[in-house]
Amino acid sequence: MKRALPRVFTRNSGKSDGVLMNVEDRRVKRTQRLLAKALITLTLEKGYDVVTIRDITERADVGYATFFRHYHDKDELLEDVLDVVLAEMLELLLPANGADPAAMGTLIFRYVGEHSEVCRVLTGSMPLTRKLITLGTQSVRGDTLPQAASIVPPEIVAHHIVASSVALIQWWLEHDMPYPPERMGAIYAALIVQPTGATALSG
């Protein structure tokens, strides 16, 4: 299966003319995609810590100075990838809000499977995993309604759902995705969503 990078790597070019803006945006998007792809590939080859900006620009065939027009360092580039992945996952799940938990889980694991290289890098970095959990928790917290009688505070409910989901994704990737997304979706529902919903969330 062909693996994909997240769709959107765009920043405001600052130009006011519509045509020039479109041309510049395409160039920016292309450059950021090349840099992101190079970073992910190199990280999988030899580990994030030893990858240099020179490595990234040479692999992407992008000028060294060009990198710094977009990012201060490789950490900012990787965080940009994380932001895009999280936004795409939330966008993917939005239409399924209130749907069957197993179906929602299937959507999550299909996305992870299609972007497995990116997700391996993101979930393999402790700082980025923490950021993913923090941002995800904030989003889930806004979408969940705790039971009035539950002893579990809503912020803990949201954190539990996200942290458990990330751990399940990590396991799946670390074991080379041994089960299809449909089964992982059912596991996600059975292990995480249904027990949490039964004890801490309103229906």
Domain holding 186, by residue range, is 77-200
Which of 52, 72, 92 is the last residue in one of the domains?
72
**Together in a domain, 118 and 193:** yes
The mean pLDDT value for 33-60 works out to 92
Is residue 115 pLDDT above 70, yes or no? yes
Return d(Cα 189, Cα 122) in angstroms, integer.
23
Q: How confident is the model at residue 10 (pLDDT cuts 50, 70, 90)?
A: very low
| pLDDT at position 15 | 43
Residue 60 lies in a domain: yes
Contact 167, 91 (CB under 8 A): no
Lowest model confidence (mean pLDDT) among 7-11, 28-32, 34-38, 40-44: 7-11
Q: What is the CATH number of the domain that holds 39?
A: 1.10.10.60
Which DSSP category does 149 fall into?
T
| pLDDT at position 7 | 59
The token pair at 6 is 């997240």
| pLDDT at position 13 | 41
Specify which of 38-52, 54-68, 88-102, 184-198 reaches the highest per-range mean pLDDT.
54-68
The mean pLDDT value for 32-59 works out to 92
pLDDT per residue as tens digits for the range 135-175? 888 887 766 555 666 788 888 888 998 999 999 999 999 99
The better pLDDT of the pair 157, 20 is held by: 157
Is residue 2 pLDDT above 60, yes or no? no
| pLDDT at position 5 | 61
Residue 1 lies in a domain: no
Residues 6+ apart with CB under 8 A from 77: 35, 36, 39, 56, 70, 71
Q: Is 106 left (phi over 0), alpha (psi -120 to 50) or beta?
A: alpha
**Together in a domain, 43 and 117:** no
For Cα atoms 60, 128, 98, give the angle at the middle one, nearest 5 degrees.
110
Instruction: Give the position of tokens 């980025």.
Output: 128
3-state DSSP call for residue 96? helix
Return d(Cα 203, Cα 197) in angstroms, integer.
7
Number of domains in the chain: 2
Amino acid 150 reads S
